[in-house]
Structures are given as C-alpha cells and as structure tokens.
Structure 1
C-alpha cells in the first residue's frame, strides 16, 4: 500500500464523490465543503497521479477512462471505511443516530422527542434529517424512519403506522365547506412530490379530481401546510404532518374520513446490526407514541389499507 503515501485521502474522497454523484455541487453537498474545495482536491489528485481524471466542459467535469476504472474500487473502499468507523458506535447503549425525512422530523418528531428523553434520560439521540435513503449497514445510522410501501430487501423493516390523508384548511375557509364537493370551489394547494393524489380521498364520495381548482404549488409538505394555515387554500395532508396544527386549531379538518394511501411508516435498521437496548427502547416508544399522538376522529378508519 506504499502507493497511497503520495495521494491524500481527501482528494480520493472528492474524486469518488464527483464520479459517483455526477457533479461537483452534489459532491460538495455530500462532503460538507465548498464547490471550490472539491475542485481543488480533484486538481491536486490529478497532479499527484499524473493523469487527467475529468475533462472540463462548460463548468462540467466529465469522467475520463481513468476515473471510470477507479470509481468502483474507490466507492467500495470508502464504504469499507465508513463501515469501519460505524463499528465504533454500534452496540453503544447510550447513543442513537436516527435518519428521518425532514418533514417528519420537523412536524412530528421534534414535538414528541422530549417524551422519549424523559423516559430514557441516559440515551442521547442524534437526528439526521435527510431524504436520502441510508443503508444502516454501511453508515453510522442506527435506525431510519421512512415512508413507503415496503417491504425493503436487505434491511430489517418493521411497519409502524399506515399513512392516512385528509383535507385541511384555515378556519375561515372551513366555514365555506358544508359537504365534500364544496372543496371544488376553493383553491387547492399542491405538492408535486407527494406519493399520493386527491383521488385517494375523493373516491370515498364518488367525486373526481376534475372538480379541483388551481392553487399555489410548493415543493415541500411543510410549506404546503403553512400555506393552508395562512388561508391560501385546501391541502390534502397526512396525519404526522398536520396532527399538531389540527389539535392547536391552526387548521380545520372539515371531514373525519382519513383513507389509507397504501404507504406506511417503517422503522428500518441494518440487517447485520445487533439489537441494542437503546434501539429497542426507541422502537417501543416510537410505536406507542405514533399511535397515541394521531387522535383519529370517529369514522377516520373507514377505509383500511
């Protein structure tokens, strides 16, 4: 391994990230450094190796044959290093790293995590809010909370709660809604990235999406909920997103029906990772806290998943 003495590991990390992710910007985001720092590391590594790794065209770095041959080996090596580092954290009974989508983290988890801390003051929880799918066997993440249809191969996945949806709007707009078809008279707040459509809810009443009006579009569920609170229209929300806003009166759910989307919340852990007391404690708490926090009205569960 003497040939590694003349190559900096930070440079190889930069080369691997750019080659795998396809852009300097994406590599910089993953590595937590600036675009300029990544470009500089790539330049240094090319100089140390004495070969051109990327062709520069219109601010793009296009991989050469050299980097195409290197990248699979670099990725495998970086994964092995990540696993080696992760083993120093696994098995600890006083620490947990949780990977969770930002919307779930901001609208549900932060409001309830204090309850876990009270029950288990000796366990330190670190939350990583990201939409990236994390492999817990190849990282320092202990548990992931994800939404999807499942099952998930290659990991341990426990279904926690079915995802259910329902319309919400400001109290002022709610006064204009007497029956389900009245929703078609109001602006509709949309999130193009949602994994479900209004059809899930409208089908309960024999209504079609063609009745829906135009309205503002936001690329984030939290922003959509904020827009509903501000009175911009009606939003088809889900329980973990809107439960606090409904309970506090910030928005009104005009109807009790909450059909299941077919997706669910899952607690994911590494297939080869040991079960620890900390992970068991968090899983037990999360299961009960989710169920207890929803507070579904009578008639909400009329459609099962």
Structure 2
C-alpha cells in the first residue's frame, strides 16, 4: 500500500461521502462536520492526488470522469473496512440482525417474536425488511431468511421449509366451493408480482388457469391476503402467509390438496465466519416454531 501515505484518510472519507451523497451538505450531515470542512478536505485531497475529482458548477459539485471511477473504488474500499470492523462485533454484540422479506415478517414472524424475546431476553432483535440478496460477509446481517431454490453463491444456505400453495378464501365464499372445479367460477384474487402460477395447483387436478374468471389484482401478497379476508375472492396462498388467518377463522382452505412449488425457505448465513451462539439459538427457535405450525 505504497500510495496511501500520499493522502489523509479524512480527506478520502470526505471525497467518498460527497460523491456518494451528491452534495457537500449531505456529506457534511453524514460525517457530522460543517460544509466548509468537507470542502476544505476535498481541496486538500485533490492537491495531494494531483488530480481534479470534482467539477464545480453553479448547482454544486459533480465528479469528473476520473473522479467517478475514483469515488466508486473508494466506496468499495470503505464498505470493506466497515465490514471488517463489523466482523469483530458478531461474537460479542447482543443485537441479532435478521434480513427477511416484508410479507414473511409481517404475516408470520413478527407476531411470534415476543415468544423469542421471553426465551432470550439477553438478545435484542433488529429486523431489516428486504427481498434483496445479501452477503453476510460484507454487511452487518447475521442471518437472512429467503425463498428460492437454495443455489445462492458465496453463502451458507440451510433448508428450512418447502413452499406449498393452496386456495384460501373467506368462510362465506367457501360454501360455494364444493369441488376444485368450482374454483373456475369464483372471483380470483391475483398477486401481480408473484412468480407462482395458479397452474401449480390446478394442473395436477386436471384444471387450467386460463379458465379462471377475472378478479382483483394487487402488487403485494399481504394485500391479496387482506382482500381474501374481506371476501373479495379466492387467492393462492402458502403456509407462512395464511396460517394465522386460518387459525383465527378469518380464512378457510376449502380443499385439502396442497401443491409444492419449486421454491423453499432457506436460512442464509456466512460460509466464512464461525456462527455465534445468538444465531444458533434463533435458528433452533425458528425451526421449533415452524414445526409447531405444521403440526396444526
């Protein structure tokens, strides 16, 4: 690292923050210093580098061509440094950070977390609701729960639960659904963003989704569930989405048939770090909750 002594670290932080945030004021807020201090750090850094990183315009600053490449590299470097510092906290930190899809969190996980907290009062939970893929080695995420085929590279994937789908509806609509064929005449609630087609459940029964009638469409599975509870139609649901509504009698599953999709639930952790006790304990608790749900 023979080039690093040419510049001061605080100057590099100012350059990276200004480039990433897009303005001196935003960078100053993030770094907790004045706008003038950020500006002076950038000027000093440019002098030390012997190159212009930003262009000054009437609307503020803008990275030069070289500057943008420089800032991109700096951002990667600071992310790596941040991850290195975070690694030292994983074994001693009492906070367990979990990344989980918003629908799974709101409809299944969050209502059960009080039981985990009572069993493990020494651990504080922090949930990040996201469907993005995560890299535990370059973030502060201890554990992620994802739905997929389990083939994500660079992480440790542990099988948790298969995803099975089945129709659900409000009790008042269920009276008209005596056989699976009756689905073809019922209003259908569709998740516009779902990658699971109705044919997954219909085809094994000799039925075709092209024969379904039109119904309401939503871009979120949780909204589809709420619409089904309100009696707007029949939706294709799965265990962790509909279980609590089924248990509470707000929904019914009119047919016994379940169809397994090609997806499953997976626990995602680092394949490079030793697993701390807080992660092992949460995994064990989660598997227990899953087993209890499937027994009912």
- Give the TM bin, normalised by the shorter chain: 0.7 to 0.9
Tell me the distance in 2 between the aligned counterparts of 1:237 and 1:174: 15
Which residue of 2 is the match for residue 66 of structure 1?
66
- Cα 1:89–1:234 change in 2 (3 A) is same
Output the TM-score relative to the length of structure 2: 0.82
SS at match of 1:98: strand
> What's the CA shift for 1:90?
0.8
State the TM-score, normalizing by the size of structure 1: 0.79
Q: Who is 1:110 aligned against?
A: 110
Matches within 5 A, 1:127-166: 127-166=127-166
User: Rg bigger for which structure?
Assistant: 2
Q: Determine if contact 2:15/2:42 at 8 Å carries over to the other structure.
A: no
Aligned-partner Cα distance in 2 for 1:45–1:98:
39
Counterpart of 1:81 in structure 2 is: 81
Aligned partner (choices 13, 22, 31) of residue 9 of structure 1: 13
CA gap 1:151/1:5 in 2 versus in 1, 3 angstroms: closer
Alpha carbons of structure 1 residues 188 and 53: separation in structure 2 relative to 1, 3 Å: farther
In structure 2, what is the equivalent of residue 181 of structure 1? 181
> Any gaps of 5 or more consecutive residues in structure 1?
19-23, 35-39, 297-305
Name the Cα RMSD after superposition: 3.2
In 2, Cα distance between equivalents of 1:79 and 1:103: 29
Q: 1:238 to 1:63 in 2, by over 3 A?
A: farther
Change (3 A) 1:73 1:254: same
Structure 2: distance between partners of 1:10 and 1:244: 49
1:266 counterpart SS class: strand
Match in the other structure for 2:95? 95
Structure 2: distance between partners of 1:47 and 1:116:
48
Cα distance change, pair 6–72 in 1 and its aligned pair in 2 (3 A):
closer
Deviation at 1:203, TM superposition (A): 1.4
Count residues with an aligned counterpart: 276
1:240-259 CA-to-partner distances (Å, cap 9, x unmatched) read 01000011011111111111
Tell me, yes or no, if the aligned pair for 1:93 and 1:278 is still in contact at 8 Å: no
> What is the aligned partner in structure 1 of residue 236 from structure 2?
236
Aligned-partner SS, 1:286: helix
Please give the per-residue CA displacement for 1:214-257, whole angstroms capped at 9, x wherever unaligned.
11111111111001111111110111010000110111111111
Give the 5 Å matches for 1:195-210: 195-210=195-210
State the distance in 2 between where 1:15 and 1:257 align.
55
